[in-house]
């Protein structure tokens, strides 16, 4: 029987078969924060896509939960409106939407006041005996109290699992506290910490690029690589998230999670397999090898910025403080020169930069290789050879470009002429016709099926905070304030100096 199932599973992509193979699927999904922005923009549209593609078991039911009291029909109308607003028109099928809504119930819970859990238990009925997946899309301060509330109401069975959005705490100590409170109700192998970057196809592709090809790995180290740049640039500003963003800033909002996960995948040692344990063991080792920031280095190794008014995408935009309505010390841009203290990366700087109101939306990894050790063409007229460079575009473009030297055609009577040319692999072109899925489709499916590979483990989050705390402490020690940059520029001029001091330049 197992052999037959295994043979049958081969017809499915590896992640589906792996999920089915390792864990029990949840039968009820309870979504806290179901009336919130993320649920409306991402979670319900993603669940609907999975439903429409036949990827959700018939038995799966969804219970949306929010603070407001409302009946099922009113909630259905909200979900229907969210689907119409956030999905392309050709995905909306009347019968499909009706069948999807059929799966959905609503239960009001005031997690702050600790009320509504008994009503949830009553609504769950005998579903309480079967695996439940609880998804928290709520303010992070609610993670601990909700986990405790579920436990008290008996909704934390051995096969129940919990997923949480970021951030887990606001520093190492508070993240430990949240992890402890959640861990008290759910075992770690049932806790799914979300970093939506891990759900992105292009981020997963970094694993394929590094470990499914022989070409790069032998060169992936300090012997061959001069430095690495990771840029996550956004054109958006505050987007009405004032109450969340101010006081948090780019370091905690983007570097602590998304950028460090990217860094870990790019720099970790090869895991033995793509199992959750193997991948996360390697990531955590890498995160722990990040050199802590010291107060004496912080001015040379980091830059904080805050945008002032300017123009983005041809339109005038107001500055951060004006959007906020008061002056603020929160950084909307950060650039960091990081080092990984291990054998592989000794002495290789990793330049990280992220910011809001940049000139374009672009997430990119650049690997700058070292020059060849000896230029054999020097005597026949070829000047300096450009060192190879690999640029991996994660979004919105999906491509990989490698810059290599090539001989310019000719008889070479005046000397050999070499020129840098680009090998360009467009992933959107190579996989044209494949629908690009929302990152949350993948994450929700893995959560339902119990595969933790693309979720962040407790020790990873804590290692991330440890490094971030060292930067914040160093900033505080030297009283570092954000420097102004014009909206629509690549950040303060000191961010350019940060890398140019080392003889390199940002790839803009
Ligand atoms: C979120 C941050 O985690 O990621 C936002 O809180 C940011 O500030 C967003 O805009 C970026 O995600 P994406 O998928 O648009 O790159």
Render 182-194 in DSSP notation, one character per residue.
HHHHS-GGGEEE-
**What pLDDT is stored for residue 325 in this prediction?**
92
Query: What whole-number distance in Å separates Cα of residue 167 and Cα of residue 171?
Result: 10
Under a CB-based contact definition with an 8 Å cutoff, are residues 148 and 185 in contact?
yes
From 86, 167, 230, 234, the mutation candidate for ligand 1 (largest count of ligand atoms within 8 A of CB) is: 234
Task: Tell the burial category of 179 from Cβ atoms under 10 Å away from its Cβ (0-12, 13-18, 19+).
Answer: buried
Ligand 1 atom showing the smallest separation from residue 234 Cα: 10
Q: Using CA atoms, how far apart are residues 134 and 185, in angstroms rounded to an integer?
A: 12
What integer pLDDT is reported at residue 7 of this predicted model? 37
Q: Which atom of ligand 1 is nearest to the CA of 241?
A: 8
Among residues 306, 303, 295, the alpha carbon closest in space to that of 249 is found at 306
Whether 258 is catalytic? yes
Tell which residue, 445, 394, 407, 358, has the closest CA to residue 29: 445
Strands 333-338 and 302-308: antiparallel
> Rounded CA gap, 288 and 306, in Å?
29
- 400 bridge partner residues: 392, 425
Which atom of ligand 1 lies at the shortest distance from residue 395's CA?
Answer: 16
Instruction: State residue 317 phi and psi, 5-degree precision.
Output: -130, 150
Pick from 182, 118, 195: which is nearest to 144 by CA? 182
Atom of ligand 1 nearest to the CA of 258: 3
Q: By alpha-carbon position, which residue is closest to atom 4 of ligand 1? A: 254
Instruction: Please report the pLDDT score of residue 414 as a whole number.
Output: 87
**Nearest Cα residue to atom 8 of ligand 1:** 253
d(CA 506, CA 93): 46
Phi, psi for residue 18 in degrees, rounded to 5: -65, -45
Those residues with Cβ within 8 angstroms of residue 411's Cβ, 6 or more apart along the chain or in another chain: none
334 - beta bridge partners? 304, 354
- Could you tell me if 309 and 316 are in contact, meaning their C-beta atoms sit under 8 angstroms apart? yes
Q: Which residues of the chain have pLDDT under 50?
A: 1-22
> Given 258, 301, 374, 507, which residue is catalytic?
258
**249 C-alpha vs ligand 1 centroid, how far in Å?**
12
Output the pLDDT for position 32. 97
Q: Which residue out of 254, 262, 333, 357 has the highest number of ligand 1 atoms within 8 Å of its CB and is therefore the one to mutate?
A: 254
Q: How far is the CA of 234 from the centre of ligand 1 (A)?
A: 8
First to last CA, the chain: 56
Give the span between the Cα atoms of 466 and 140, in whole angstroms.
19
Find the residues whose C-beta lies inside 6 A of ligand 1.
234, 253
């Amino acid at each position: 029987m197992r052999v037959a199932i295994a043979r049958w599973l081969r017809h499915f992509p590896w992640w589906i078969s792996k999920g089915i193979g390792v864990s029990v699927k949840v039968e009820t999904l309870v979504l806290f924060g179901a009336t919130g922005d993320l649920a409306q923009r991402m979670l319900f549209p993603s669940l609907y896509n999975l439903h429409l593609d036949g990827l959700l078991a018939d038995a799966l039911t969804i219970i949306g939960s929010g603070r407001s009291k409302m009946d099922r029909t009113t909630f259905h109308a909200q979900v229907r409106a969210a689907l119409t607003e956030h999905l392309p028109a050709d995905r909306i099928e009347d019968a499909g939407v009706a069948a999807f809504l059929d799966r959905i119930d609503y239960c009001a819970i005031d997690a702050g006041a600790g009320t509504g859990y008994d009503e949830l238990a009553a609504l769950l009925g005998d579903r309480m005996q079967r695996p439940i997946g609880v998804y928290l899309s709520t303010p992070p301060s609610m993670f601990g109290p909700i986990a405790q509330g579920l436990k008290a109401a008996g909704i934390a069975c051995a096969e129940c699992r919990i997923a949480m959005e970021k951030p887990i705490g606001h520093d190492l100590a508070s993240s430990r506290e949240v992890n402890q409170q959640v861990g008290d109700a759910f075992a770690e192998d049932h806790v799914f910490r979300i970093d939506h970057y891990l759900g992105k196809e292009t981020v997963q592709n970094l694993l394929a690029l590094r470990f499914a090809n022989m070409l790069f790995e032998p060169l992936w180290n300090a012997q061959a690589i001069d430095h690495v740049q990771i840029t996550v640039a956004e054109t958006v500003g505050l987007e009405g998230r004032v109450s969340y963003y101010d006081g948090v800033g780019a370091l905690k909002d983007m570097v602590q999670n998304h950028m460090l996960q990217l860094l870990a995948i790019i720099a970790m040692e090869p895991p033995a397999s793509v199992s959750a344990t193997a991948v996360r063991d390697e990531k955590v080792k890498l995160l722990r090898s990040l050199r802590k920031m010291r107060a004496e280095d912080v001015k040379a190794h980091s830059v904080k910025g805050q945008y002032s008014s300017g123009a983005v995408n041809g339109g005038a935009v107001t500055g951060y403080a004006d959007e906020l309505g008061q002056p603020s010390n929160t950084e909307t841009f950060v650039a960091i020169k990081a080092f990984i203290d291990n054998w592989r990366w000794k002495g290789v700087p990793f330049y990280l930069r992220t910011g809001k109101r940049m000139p374009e939306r672009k997430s990119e990894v650049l690997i700058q290789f070292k020059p060849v050790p000896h230029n054999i063409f020097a005597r026949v007229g070829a000047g300096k050879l450009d060192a190879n460079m690999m640029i991996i575009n994660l979004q919105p473009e999906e491509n990989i470009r490698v810059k290599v030297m090539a001989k310019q055609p000719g008889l070479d009577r005046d000397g050999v002429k070499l020129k840098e040319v680009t090998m360009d692999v467009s992933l959107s072109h190579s996989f044209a016709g494949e629908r690009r899925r929302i990152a949350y489709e993948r994450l929700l499916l893995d959560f339902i099926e119990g595969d933790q590979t693309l979720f962040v483990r407790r020790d990873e989050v804590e290692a991330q905070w440890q490094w971030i705390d060292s930067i914040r402490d160093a900033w505080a020690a030297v009283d570092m304030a954000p420097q102004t940059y014009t909206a629509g520029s690549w950040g303060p001029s000191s961010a350019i100096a940060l890398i140019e001091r080392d003889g390199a330049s940002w790839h803009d």
